[in-house]
Amino acid sequence: MNARTEPAPAGSDATARPPHVIARPPLVRELLLVAGLFLVYKLGRQLATGHTGEAFRNAHRVWDFERAVHLPGEGAVQSLLLHGDALVRVANTYYATVHFPATVAFLVWLYLRRPAHYVWARRVLAAVTAVALALHLLFPLAPPRMLAATGLVDTARVYGPSVYGDPATDSLSNQFAAMPSLHFGWALMVAIGLIVATRSRWRLLWLLHPLLTLLVIVGTANHYWLDAIVATALLGLALAVVHVPHRTATTAGRAQGGLVPAQGRTEEQALAGAGR
C-alpha cells in the first residue's frame, strides 16, 4: 500500500470533513454582520438629511447631463406604467416591498444551501453598500419625482402605496440619496450571485429581477438612469476586488449527499482499474 492509498490517520481533517463540504461561517456572527449592514444602511441614509438645496442643484446637473449624453427620457418608462392604475400600483408595491426581503432571502439561501458562495456575496454587498452610503453623503441628490423640470409624476404619492412621507417632515429616511441606486445594485448582485451559485439551464432568467427593478425605480420616478449606471459600476469594482470562487459542480449544487469531487472519483477509478 503506497502513500496515495494509505488511509488517513483517525481524527484527521481528511476523515472529519469530506473534501467537497464547505464549512459555514458561525451563524450568530453572520446574523450580527448582516443586521449591522442593514442598520448602517438605514442610519447612513439619515445622516445625509439637511442638504435640500445641494440635492436639488445636483438633480438639475444630473438631469441636464443625461439629456446632454442623449440617455432615454425617464418619462418614456413612466408613461407605460400610467396606462392603468393597477399597473402603477403594482410597480409602487414592488418598489416598496421587494428590495429588502429579496436580498435577505438571497443571503439566507446562500448560507444554508451554497456556503461556498455566501461569504463573497456578503462581502460584495457590504462593499457596495458602504461606498454607496459615502456617495449619498458626498453627493446628495433629489430624485426625479421631486424635480419639476422632469415633468414626472410621484406615482407613490398619487396612486400609492408609498414608503416616504413629506420630505420636509420625514425623519425616518433620507429622500435625497438617489445616487447610486441600491435598489438596482442589490437586485443585480442577487441575480449574479444566483447565476453563479446554481446550475439550472434557466438561471439567466434571474436577470429579470434587476431588469424589472430598473423599470420600476425609473418608472416610479424614484431614480434616474444614471443612478443605476453608477450602481452597476460600483458592483463591477466590488466583484473585481472580492475573490469569487470558480463555478464547479460542487459549488453550484450538483455534488450532494456525500459524493466525492470529480478529481477524487478519477483517482479512485484509476486505482480500481489498476487492481483488476
pTM to 2 decimal places = 0.79
Bridge partners for 177 per DSSP: 141
Q: Which three cell numbers stand for residue 268?
A: 479512485
Instruction: Give me the pLDDT at residue 191, please.
Output: 98
CB neighbours of residue 190 within 10 Å: 23
Q: What is the mean pLDDT of each run of 10 residues along the chain (276 residues)?
A: 50 46 69 74 63 92 96 94 92 94 94 91 92 90 94 94 72 80 96 94 96 97 98 97 70 48 42 41
The string of DSSP letters for 27-96 reads: HHHHHHHHHHHHHHHHHHHHHT-S-HHHHHHHHHHHHHHHHHTTPPPHHHHHHHHTT-HHHHHHHHHHHH
pLDDT at 162: 87
